[in-house]
Amino acid sequence: MKAYDIVVYGATGFTGRQAAAYLLGHPDTRDLRIAIAGRSRERLDALRLELPRDPGVIVADAGDAASLDAMVQMTHVVLSTAGPFARYSDGVVAACVARNVDYVDITGETPWVRRLIDAYHQAAAATGTRIVPMCGYDSVPADLGTWLVVDHIRRELDQETREVKGFYQAKGGLNGGTLASALAMAEAGEAALLDDPVLLNPPDDRTDEARAANPDQTGPRFDPDVARWTAPFIMARMNTRVVRRSAALATVLDGAPYGRPFRYHESALVRRKRGRLRATGASLALGAAERALKLAPMRKLVKRLGPDPGTGPSEASRRAGFHRTHFVGRAADGTRVDAELSGQGDPANTATVTMVCESALCLALNKDALPGGPTRGGLLTPATAFGQVLVDRLRSAGMRFEIL
């Protein structure tokens, strides 16, 4: 018998502390055994005193493969908040695949996820091990919102889906861990991978034709579907890749393609007043920031001025945040379907914690009800791993998912 149902790895970091508190205070976890894990016994013991109830404590260090393997063997599910993930969570995933232990995290490091797919997808699929990265704000809203539209068109209209577009509005702050991950990707020189629109697709779907059909938005654009000016969305190079992987896996795993062909795009909505000017300014600012991160002196400056790892917005600031995504889908015959996903709380912090914790609870409490049944495995996405089960859990947690 395993000692724990869920282990939170990286628990003493900014997001890890919130995740541990969320799980240990959750009404569904009274009968679950939960542990916190990290490299510092002293910091873990200090965190333990702050939590709603007493967790187990496991000392595990990313630089010590034996300690990671021992941690993984003690649990059914690992929830990792330890980023940069390419640096601190690579060994955790390797141990989870080797020990048939399910895994979720909040990474946005798509080049790292590509490497995980290449290294572990087949082995995890063979053993029914669910490895599900990107279970925070990137990329649960995009992935589940698109899935909701596609599922509705399939059930209500008996059609495939031609296209889905996501339009984002949000208010929130940046934590030190997110910044550290962004800087790590920039320092690794992975711009070419980040720019690939089908980076996470299976090999047969990574074609020039698919790339040409799914370009990233790089400038201001007026979208007639919402009658608004839009700008490039900062998370689009993460979210769109996950949605396109979900679409490809739906064909492989379920024989139920989203559409043939299927396209997904997303944008940031700007205010209506002076919309074109706002969209132009936002586009220029994002482009300048991306170019700056490619320069070592600018990265050094950002690192000095930005939040340190383990820090982030205040609780009051997190409560004041919100996120709202409007989806416009087109069925094969052109019929339009609108959906919306929204919630209160800082998207990169509060909402991310809710999303990843509820994803872990899907694995700990609802595995028999998940898509594909309890034996599905591989490097999956939130939609292909959790589907309606996660939608229902997030609705119960206060988020709104609805067809309009």
Is 180 in the same domain as 147?
A: yes
Summarize the confidence of residues 125-148 as an average pLDDT: 97
pLDDT score at 198: 96
Is 116 in the same domain as 149?
A: no
In our burial notation (b when 16+ CB lie closer than 10 A, e otherwise), range 253-279 reads beeebbbeebbbbbbbbbeeeebeebb
CA-to-CA dists, residue 144 to 26, 216, 341, 389, angstroms: 22, 20, 9, 11
pLDDT score at 248: 96
Q: Decide if pLDDT at 369 tops 90.
A: yes
Q: Domain with 79 in it: what CATH number?
A: 3.40.50.720
Is 263 in the same domain as 157?
A: yes
pLDDT score at 307: 80
DSSP 8-class letter at 166: E
pLDDT score at 344: 94
What does residue 331 show for φ and ψ, rounded to 5 degrees? -70, 170
pLDDT score at 7: 98
Strand partners, 163: 263, 330
Is 388 in the same domain as 289?
A: no
SS3 category, 113: helix
What is the distance between the alpha carbons of residues 269 and 328, in angstroms, rounded to a whole number? 13
Q: For residue range 242-284, what is the model confidence (pLDDT) as tens digits? A: 999 999 999 999 999 999 999 999 999 999 999 999 999 999 9
Is 133 in the same domain as 145?
A: no
Is 122 in the same domain as 249?
A: no
Name the residue with higher pLDDT: 295 or 127: 127
Q: Decide if pLDDT at 187 tops 90.
A: no
What does residue 77 show for φ and ψ, rounded to 5 degrees? -135, 135
Is 338 in the same domain as 228?
A: yes
Is 132 in the same domain as 226?
A: no
Least confident of 20-29, 129-138, 191-200, 361-370: 191-200
Least confident of 93-102, 180-189, 222-231: 180-189
Is 187 in the same domain as 128?
A: no
Is 275 in the same domain as 306?
A: yes
pLDDT score at 296: 82
What is the distance between the alpha carbons of residues 176 and 182, in angstroms, rounded to a whole number? 10
What is the distance between the alpha carbons of residues 144 and 157, in angstroms, rounded to a whole number? 19
Is 342 in the same domain as 361?
A: no
Question: Locate tokens 């591989």: which residue?
Answer: 378
Q: Decide if pLDDT at 373 tops 90.
A: yes
Q: Decide if pLDDT at 126 tops 80.
A: yes
Q: Residue 36: which domain range?
A: 4-137+350-403
pLDDT score at 311: 82
Quick one: pLDDT band at residue 174, thresholds 50, 70, 90? Answer: confident
Summarize the confidence of residues 123-141 as an average pLDDT: 97
User: Count of domains in the chain?
Assistant: 2
Is 111 in the same domain as 148?
A: no
Q: Give percent of the chain with pLDDT exceeding 70.
A: 100
